Amino acid sequence: MTAEEKNIPKSYDPQAVEANRYEWWLEQNLFKATEEEGKESYSIVIPPPNVTGNLHMGHALNLSIQDALIRRKRMQGLNTLWLPGMDHAGIATQARVEAMLRQDGISRYDLGREKFLEKVWEWKEKYADTIRQQWSKLGISVDYSRERFTMDEGLSKAVRTVFVKLYDKGLIYRGKRIINWDPAQRTALSDIEVIYKDIQGKLYHMRYPFEDGSGAIEVATTRPETMLGDTAVAVHPEDERYQGMIGKLLDHPITGRKIPVIADEYVDKEFGTGVVKITPAHDPNDFEMGQRHNLEQIVVMNEAGQMNENADKYQGMDRFECRKQIVADLQEMGVLFKIEEHAHSVGHSERSGAVVEPFLSTQWFVKMQPLADAAIDLQKGDDAVNFVPDRFERTYLQWIENIRDWCISRQLWWGHRIPAWYCDHCGETIVTMDDPTSCTKCGHDALRRDEDVLDTWFSSALWPFSTMGWPEQTKDLDTFYPTSVLVTAYDIIFFWVARMIFSALEFTDKKPFEDVLIHGIVRAEDGRKMSKSLGNGIDPLDVIEKYGTDALRFMLLNGTAPGNDQRFQFERVESARNFANKIWNASRFVMMNLGEDFTYQGANGFAKLGTAEKWILHRLNATIQDVNARMEVYDFGGAGSAIYEFLWNEYCDWYIELAKMPLNGDDAQAKSTTLNVLVYVLDQSLRLLHPFMPFITEEIWQALPSTAAGASIVTASYPAFDAKWEDAQAEKEMGLLMDIIRSIRNTRAEMNVPPSRPITLLIKAKDSDTEAILTRGESYIRRFCNPEALTISTDVAVPEKAVSNVVTGAELFLPLAGLIDIDAEIARLEKEKKKLDGEVERIEKKLNNQGFVAKAPAEVIETEKAKLADYADKRATVISRIEELRG
RNA sequence: GCGACCGUAGCUCAGAGGGAGAGCACUACCUUGACACGGUAGGGGUCAUAGGUUCGAUUCCUAUCGGUCGCACCA
């Protein structure tokens, strides 16, 4: 049956190839984890996407990498698990739902906690569906039977267990601290949720008068509105300028409060006037100084960033409005005498973008030092987590070595509610697994649960083991934990990777993963980040619709250099799509030639292997070795290129062309061998490529005569290197023949002799060995070069008028009647000679260098000598040809 | 201030202590019975700059210039 009869379209159509295939895989249960006794395990937990919206190009890259890894290991026969799931993403999701409600003029307070949470769950279900839809489009082979959500019952239990254990151990505490406050979301943030941006601000210089009328002291501030909470002014204890003033009282210019001048080492004498106003409730450094000097903490704002009752006449104003007003008032009073431009960085909320306010409030914290110490010990020991690329280990260590306590309470509703209750009767705090009904201390039932929820990352930190059933001791934990590798972008090393490591050490006594593979981000074509605000994001689904999932995946994986960013370019997707088309057509060629009576026998059918067959099998084997080696070290770009080059430049460009001879010839055995080789190599190549391009490889594989009925490439064995296919002789012979063929094509092109015009071709072999190779390959030369007469010999009668070319081992002559200009030919050969002169000279210089001969490794010297002999040989041939022509 | 990364063909990027590579773009020819999403042949780079290590550096080290990012500070 021919390809036309089978209706194989001439062009690859990704839509047709990819339709329904994913569902078919799922029906066959091919992605379900296997847990067979005695088999090695390989597991990955997905970095759970937020249920806030659609997956972006970064997800597509992240998932393509993981899928390539897990598909290969699955094909290699390991027990594999790729566990999918999603993250509730506290602040992000709540913000999205609140924004949605706001369009209807509803606030979360209008609904109340319970009703509001119902809305969020609805939202979550909707987006979870969208995400699953996108996963299926990307073709990722996750085990849906194990899908988890961070707020599942099981995972919630894990969270509560961890909270209670850490609390009981004294590693979780509640305290009144300066934290990063997001006035837009009205919640506390952890340090890493604050993004610092450089802002051109202003530095305001003011005079605070001494109460005794003895002049004034000059202070500078960037945030004049906080002066309402000033409770001191500080100078450096050794600053001569202010020695007499320490301890004196000042009249605060606005509040009239009497505030002291204090001395503290923290103050930088060089900055500004060397005097700082101290606002303990609104600045972390001032807070610490305030504690050292027992200063009063006056909070002057409310949770929304508006001035509160401590702000006198400014009460009710927004903080920035207040700044303007205070500046105006102070200028009028003559207190503010100078405004300078001042560049400084200002913290913004990662989620809402609001300017973060350092804010004094009562929050829950994780005491980090003991947890960090364990993580550091692990990394300094023999069983460290393997970061790929390893430079990220330094990034990680630097952070964990300088870690500060982690603020984990959030004033939100969407999330894991903190399992703490307060007794209104005796004031006791109760932290427990089960909801208490009465106070453990006084027995009273006037219990009030803490309103706050936990930082999203608190639950994410448990992901590798909570998803497998922890704190229960499950079979999944036995088989698949610790996981093999965690794949993520570098932007969440601190948020997530670090926290998983110390959590896992604390609660499972094991590191959560052997390797951490850190990849870059996918940037827009111009190198900028893809972002919603810039509107330069590219939706993976749009790309898939036009070019197919396989093209997108291959482009993303092939562009991956470990840890480096890549730019998204449509030309690169197009190139990947063209590759898919090339494979499609090569396969189509194979199908078209199979014929009704052909029975695939695999290697048993290799009865009459020619040089080309031996060569392609050798090259396939070398490619398999290369690809496997590269995949083991996460070199997806290298592995992808190796397959690309093999399939396109060797299988298609050379082997298929050469195969046409036996396929169209009379030798039934040669024809059958060729078909077996064509199918075998294609089959193996498809398996090799399957982790990169799952759809097209399955589609073609299903049509191959080598495929057993009902089998899927998903669980076919992955190709492995086998020394029996190594064939140096075939490599050498094909190398020589390819050199000659290319050389002739080159001459034809340069002399404008079209391929359709037959030529006379004389090949002078260097020795009888080479002559034998060329004679064996005569049909190959005929196939590509269209000679009307072909002479191969160690001794050919060279016509006077002929273009000559020299390759390693042979000299070629093309007597092209009417086209040869002797002078031009001499000039061309002179140019060739000059090139060879350069090569010879370079290597001679090297070999004449005593230092080189004495110190370079023997094999390097040998290859240099061989190169020299080859170049010198070629040069001698060219010279003698020039002399012949000159007569 | 500390740290990391990058600077290679017109563009986007691989690479490696011993003859500079890919994709796209470009030039010429080819509508050849798998494929024009194709074929064949070609042009194009003192591998940012200056030192150093080495028999040998585009690759390793140092400095400089240019770019990106993270952390800390920021009255």
pLDDT digits (tens, 9 = 90+) for A718-776: 999 999 999 999 999 999 999 999 999 999 998 888 888 899 999 999 999 999 999 99
Residue A524 CB lies within 7 Å of the nucleic strand B: no
Residue A656 CB lies within 7 Å of the nucleic strand B: yes
Neighbours of A427 (CB within 10 A): 10
Please answer whether residues A181 and A282 qualify as being in contact, where contact means their C-beta atoms are separated by less than 8 angstroms: no
Which protein residue's Cα is closest to nucleotide B71 at C1'? Answer: A399
For residue A429, give the nearest of A497, A362, A495 by alpha carbon: A362
Residue A391 CB lies within 7 Å of the nucleic strand B: yes
Protein-to-nucleotide distance from the CA of A660 to the C1' of B30, whole angstroms: 20
For residue A760, give Cα distances in angstroms to A377, A763, A863, A880. Answer: 76, 10, 36, 22
Residue A867 CB lies within 7 Å of the nucleic strand B: yes
Residue A571 CB lies within 7 Å of the nucleic strand B: yes
Nucleotide nearest to A574 (CA to C1'): B37
User: Model confidence at A495, in pLDDT bands (50, 70, 90)?
Assistant: confident
pLDDT tens digits for range A507-533 = 999 999 999 999 999 999 988 899 877
The answer to whether residue A2 scores a pLDDT higher than 80 is no
Residue A565 CB lies within 7 Å of the nucleic strand B: yes
Nucleotide nearest to A635 (CA to C1'): B14
User: Model confidence at A421, in pLDDT bands (50, 70, 90)?
Assistant: very high
Residue A864 CB lies within 7 Å of the nucleic strand B: yes
Residue A564 CB lies within 7 Å of the nucleic strand B: yes
Rounded-to-integer distance, Cα A309 and Cα A298, Å: 11
Protein-to-nucleotide distance from the CA of A799 to the C1' of B59, whole angstroms: 48
The answer to whether residue A5 scores a pLDDT higher than 50 is no
Token pair for A51: 């249920």
Please name the helix (run of DSSP H) or strand (run of DSSP E) that holds residue A430, with its range, or none.
strand A429-431
Protein-to-nucleotide distance from the CA of A496 to the C1' of B1, whole angstroms: 27
pTM, full prediction: 0.93
pLDDT for A338 equals: 86
For residue A371, give Cα distances in angstroms to A346, A377, A501. Answer: 30, 10, 9
Residue A132 CB lies within 7 Å of the nucleic strand B: no
Residue A205 CB lies within 7 Å of the nucleic strand B: no
Protein-to-nucleotide distance from the CA of A576 to the C1' of B24, whole angstroms: 12
The answer to whether residue A311 scores a pLDDT higher than 80 is yes
pLDDT tens digits for range A281-303 = 899 889 988 888 888 898 999 99
Token pair for A146: 């194990």
Which protein residue's Cα is closest to nucleotide B3 at C1'? Answer: A395
Cβ-based contacts (< 7 Å) between A 345-364 and strand B? 345, 347
Neighbours of A638 (CB within 10 A): 17
Torsion of CA A679, A684, A689, A694, to 10 degrees: 70
For A473, residues 6+ apart whose C-beta sits below 8 A from its C-beta are none
The answer to whether residue A667 scores a pLDDT higher than 60 is yes
Protein-to-nucleotide distance from the CA of A869 to the C1' of B70, whole angstroms: 53
Average pLDDT over residues A870-877: 92
Cβ-based contacts (< 7 Å) between A 284-343 and strand B? 285, 342
Protein-to-nucleotide distance from the CA of A576 to the C1' of B40, whole angstroms: 22
For residue A752, give the nearest of A818, A702, A701, A810 by alpha carbon: A818
The answer to whether residue A594 scores a pLDDT higher than 80 is yes
pLDDT tens digits for range A684-732 = 999 999 999 999 999 999 999 999 999 999 999 999 999 999 999 999 9
pLDDT for A266 equals: 86
Protein-to-nucleotide distance from the CA of A574 to the C1' of B23, whole angstroms: 10
Neighbours of A436 (CB within 10 A): 16
Which protein residue's Cα is closest to nucleotide B40 at C1'? Answer: A745
List, in sequence order, every residue forming a beta bridge with A114; answer none if it has no partner: none
Residue A729 CB lies within 7 Å of the nucleic strand B: no
Protein-to-nucleotide distance from the CA of A92 to the C1' of B49, whole angstroms: 47
Protein-to-nucleotide distance from the CA of A488 to the C1' of B72, whole angstroms: 25
Which protein residue's Cα is closest to nucleotide B38 at C1'? Answer: A582
Q: CA geometry: angle at A488 spanning A484 and A492, to 5°?
A: 125
A409, burial (CB in 10 Å: exposed 0-12, middle 13-18, buried 19+): buried
Which protein residue's Cα is closest to nucleotide B19 at C1'? Answer: A839
How many residues would you count in chain A?
887
The percent of chain A in helix, strand and coil, each rounded to the nearest 5, is 50, 20, 35
Protein-to-nucleotide distance from the CA of A389 to the C1' of B74, whole angstroms: 33
Residue A560 CB lies within 7 Å of the nucleic strand B: no
Contact positions of strand B to protein Cβ (< 7 A): 3-6, 12-15, 18-19, 22-25, 28-30, 32, 34-42, 54-56, 70-75
pLDDT for A6 equals: 55
Q: Which range among A74-83, A134-143, A182-191, A503-512 shows the weakest confidence by mean pLDDT?
A: A182-191
What ipTM was reported for this prediction? 0.96
A785, burial (CB in 10 Å: exposed 0-12, middle 13-18, buried 19+): buried
Among all chains, which residue has been given the structure tokens 């007469």? A789
Protein-to-nucleotide distance from the CA of A285 to the C1' of B1, whole angstroms: 19
Alpha-carbon Rg for chain A, nearest whole angstrom, is 37
3-state SS of A556-573? HHHCCCCCCCEECCHHHH
pLDDT tens digits for range A56-67 = 999 999 999 999
Please answer whether residues A524 and A530 qualify as being in contact, where contact means their C-beta atoms are separated by less than 8 angstroms: yes
Residue A274 CB lies within 7 Å of the nucleic strand B: yes
Report the half-sphere exposure of A677 (CA within 13 A, side-chain side).
31
Rounded-to-integer distance, Cα A600 and Cα A584, Å: 20
Rounded-to-integer distance, Cα A699 and Cα A210, Å: 86
Average pLDDT over residues A489-503: 91
Protein-to-nucleotide distance from the CA of A582 to the C1' of B23, whole angstroms: 15
Protein-to-nucleotide distance from the CA of A109 to the C1' of B24, whole angstroms: 55
Any alpha helices (H) in A29-152, and if so which ranges? 57-75, 90-103, 108-138
Render A367-406 in DSSP notation, one character per residue.
--HHHHHHHHHHHHSTT--EEESTHHHHHHHHHHHT---E
Report how far Cα A186 is from the mean position of its chain's Cα atoms: 33
Token pair for A427: 């004031």
In A720-758, beta strands by DSSP E? none
Please name the helix (run of DSSP H) or strand (run of DSSP E) that holds residue A480, with its range, or none.
helix A475-480
Residue A227 CB lies within 7 Å of the nucleic strand B: no
End-to-end CA separation in angstroms for chain A? 61
Residue A749 CB lies within 7 Å of the nucleic strand B: yes
For residue A744, give the nearest of A759, A730, A733 by alpha carbon: A759
For A699, residues 6+ apart whose C-beta sits below 8 A from its C-beta are A17, A21
Residue A283 CB lies within 7 Å of the nucleic strand B: yes
Rounded-to-integer distance, Cα A282 and Cα A301, Å: 9
φ, ψ at A212 (rounded to 5°): -85, 5
Protein-to-nucleotide distance from the CA of A403 to the C1' of B43, whole angstroms: 57
Protein-to-nucleotide distance from the CA of A640 to the C1' of B21, whole angstroms: 15
Residue A184 CB lies within 7 Å of the nucleic strand B: no
Rounded-to-integer distance, Cα A807 and Cα A745, Å: 13
Rounded-to-integer distance, Cα A89 and Cα A52, Å: 7
Rounded-to-integer distance, Cα A445 and Cα A421, Å: 11
The answer to whether residue A97 scores a pLDDT higher than 70 is yes
User: Model confidence at A7, in pLDDT bands (50, 70, 90)?
Assistant: low
Protein-to-nucleotide distance from the CA of A749 to the C1' of B14, whole angstroms: 31
Cβ-based contacts (< 7 Å) between A 482-511 and strand B? 494
The answer to whether residue A265 scores a pLDDT higher than 60 is yes
